[in-house]
C-alpha cells in the first residue's frame, strides 16, 4: 500500500507545480539583437485634454503638434494644454518624472526592446501619479495604498513615430495625454 501511495502522491503533486510555472508572468522573449549597450532616446510630452477652454501649446515640439492636430477630430477634447515635456535616454528601461496639473506629478515608466532596425516594442508603458507628500497621516496599522498607474499599456513604435497614449473616463471632460516619440539615434 505504501508502495502505491508514494507514486500516487507524486502524480497528483506534479501538476500543481507545473501549473505554478504557467501562472508566472512571462518576461519578454529574449531576442538576438539585445538592447544592452544600445540606448534609445524617447521624447515624452505630457498634455491635458479638455472639452472646454483655450488651447495652450506654446513650445510644443513640431511632431507632437502634428499629432495633436491629427487627434483633434477623433477625440471629444477640444483644447489641449502642454503640461511638461522631457527627453528620456534609456538602455532597457527607465522613467522620467513630469509635472501635471500642479501640484500633481507623474512618473512615466518605459521599458523597450528592439524588434528590427527601425521598430521597437514598448513592452511596458506606465504613467503613475506621484504621491503628494503632506497628506493626512495614516492611522496605526493602516498601510498606504499602492500607486495605481493611470495608464498601463504596451505597444510597438517605429523610430521617428509619435504615438498618442491617453486615458480618460468614458464621456469625461478631461484627459491625460502622453505624446510619445522614439527619436532617431544620431
Instruction: Point out which residues bind other proteins (CB under 8 A).
Output: 1, 5, 8-9, 12-13, 16, 19, 48, 66-67, 69-71, 73-75, 100-101, 104, 145-146, 148, 150-153, 155, 161-170, 172, 174, 176
Greatest C-alpha distance within the chain:
82
Q: Distance between CA 85 and CA 100 in Å, rounded?
A: 10
Residue closer to other proteins by CB (options 136, 170) is: 170
Residue closer to other proteins by CB (options 65, 92) is: 65
Residue closer to other proteins by CB (options 38, 97) is: 97
State the nearest-atom distance from the C-beta of 66 to other proteins, in Å: 7
State the nearest-atom distance from the C-beta of 56 to other proteins, in Å: 15
State the nearest-atom distance from the C-beta of 61 to other proteins, in Å: 14
Peptide bond into 151 cis (omega under 30): no
Residue closer to other proteins by CB (options 85, 106) is: 106
Q: Distance between CA 67 and CA 62 in Å, rounded?
A: 9
Spell out the alpha helix ranges (H) of the chain: 2-23, 62-72
Residue closer to other proteins by CB (options 88, 177) is: 177
State the nearest-atom distance from the C-beta of 129 to other proteins, in Å: 9
Who contacts 169 (Cβ-Cβ below 8 Å, separation ≥6)?
none
Long-range CB pairs of 94-103 (<8 Å, 24+ gap) are 96/44, 97/130, 98/44, 98/46, 99/46, 100/46, 100/48, 100/129, 100/176, 101/48, 103/132
State the nearest-atom distance from the C-beta of 163 to other proteins, in Å: 5
Amino acid at each position: 500500500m505504501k508502495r502505491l501511495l508514494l507514486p500516487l502522491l507524486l502524480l497528483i503533486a506534479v501538476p500543481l507545480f507545473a501549473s505554478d510555472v504557467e501562472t508566472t508572468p512571462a518576461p519578454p522573449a529574449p531576442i538576438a539583437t539585445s538592447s544592452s549597450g544600445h540606448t534609445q532616446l524617447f521624447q515624452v510630452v505630457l498634455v491635458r485634454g479638455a472639452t472646454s477652454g483655450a488651447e495652450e501649446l506654446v513650445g510644443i515640439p513640431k511632431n507632437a503638434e502634428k499629432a495633436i492636430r491629427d487627434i483633434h477630430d477623433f477625440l471629444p477634447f477640444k483644447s489641449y494644454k502642454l503640461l511638461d515635456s522631457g527627453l528620456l535616454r534609456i538602455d532597457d528601461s527607465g522613467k522620467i518624472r513630469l509635472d501635471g496639473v500642479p501640484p500633481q506629478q507623474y512618473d512615466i515608466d518605459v521599458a523597450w526592446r528592439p524588434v528590427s532596425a527601425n521598430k521597437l516594442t514598448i513592452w511596458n508603458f506606465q504613467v503613475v501619479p506621484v504621491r503628494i507628500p503632506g497628506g493626512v497621516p495614516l492611522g496605526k496599522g493602516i498601510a498606504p495604498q499602492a500607486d495605481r498607474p493611470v495608464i498601463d499599456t504596451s505597444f510597438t513604435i517605429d523610430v521617428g513615430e509619435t504615438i498618442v497614449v491617453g486615458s480618460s473616463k468614458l464621456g469625461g471632460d478631461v484627459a491625460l495625454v502622453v505624446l510619445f516619440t522614439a527619436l532617431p539615434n544620431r
